[in-house]
Amino acid sequence: MGSDGQSIRFARPSFRRAGSLPGASVSSAMRDHAWLALRINSVVRIFITTVLFIMNITVFPPREHPLLCYTIMWCYAALNVLPLVLQWDRVTPFAAALVPVILDLVVITTVLTLSGGFPKDTSNYITLFDDLYFLVPILAAFQLYPYVTAFSGVASVAVYISAAVAAAPAPDWVYLITHAAFIAMSSLCCVIFSFFQRSRVRTIAALVQQRSVLLGQVISLEEDERRKISEVLHDGALQSVLAAKLDAEEISQAEPDEDISGHVTRLESALADAARQLRYSVTELHPDQVELAGLERALRSMFEEGSARGGFELDLACDIAGPTPIDELIFRAAGEFLSNIVKHAGAKRVVVRLDVTAARARLAVTDDGSGIAPGVLAARASEGHIGVSSQRVRVEGMGGRFSLENIEPHGTAAVIELPVPAS
């Protein structure tokens, strides 16, 4: 634990921040990128320091205070090793971007001032070490803060001119201003680069987050489909099969002279009902049902079967111009409405109206049942029953409108409207 209460721990020898996960939030992705940029920049700074030290020893030795300059350079290199081996959990990406900029300017200016590296007479001067100011905005550009990059450029120009004037009260102003202008222009390019880099990282992070959300929705939809199949089989055909099993047992245990005609009649009725319900389930779940039979025929078959199961009167009318790419979506939404009516509404009459033109489709399913109590949909969704919610997401994802509301004096009206895309 640091002296300021900030936790410090050793990181894995990787350029990726430890503990980051692939589906993390946008802010987490931005933080990961800030740590990645900081560590890459640290490697670059260590490399530059090493190269400069070799050049100082062999080609351009410091004019003044060589030992002190070398000490500062290697302390600076050692400091840049810390981001590679340590990790401060509470360091913000902004601090990770700004602090190195300030440190770079301090070290460069200090070394150049102590070594006499600022040009006093540029007629025979080889420009090299004062070009280090170009590197400050370039390194800052790898972070995700354009305004930090802009600050590094402005600060580099200001510090460079101030330090050069302090080192030589009568400098070569043409050289000095020209050099400062080039630093400013390169800084502007770095700001633009940093801006587009930030935008790109945010876009990628948002896409990754959306992918995680969509993956969760797909898993929920699959679980809901399995639950729906289980409920259909359990509440329908399975009950009829169990009833037939009881009648079959009564027949097998009957005495030779006992009248079993009633049991036989019930057995035949139960088996016929089970076959009908299984046929309905297969028809509803068949992925090519709409394509094979057409939307109107598939809807009529499904609602007539639902009418027999739910015991309600059916009034169905379709006005369809022809097959469309959204027929399957309409059929699935209608199936969800019908399933809720049969299970929960207790309706006596159901009215279905479907109008499909070349531009727009509208499906309205109205019943005179018990309606929807407040909070029921939210409670069922929290329990994992997301059938209605999934249909709403699909319809609105296609640019359509979905509404489900109670009507007076009692009952429910479910309506979807969808634009018809080109085939």
Block mean pLDDT (10 aa), the chain, length 423: 44 40 58 81 88 77 81 89 76 81 89 72 50 86 87 91 80 82 91 87 78 73 72 72 80 76 79 75 63 81 84 89 84 86 84 90 89 63 62 82 85 89 73
For CA atoms 328, 329, 330, 334, the dihedral sign is positive
pLDDT value of residue 12? 41
Closest CA to 87 of 10, 32, 19, 29: 10
Closest CA to 355 of 403, 416, 264, 290: 416
Question: Cβ of 58: how many Cβ atoms within 10 Å?
Answer: 8
pLDDT value of residue 374? 63
Structure tokens at 44: 């670059």
pLDDT value of residue 185? 93
Closest CA to 132 of 191, 197, 60: 60
**pTM score:** 0.49
Can you name the residues that pair with 356 across neighbouring β-strands? 320, 361
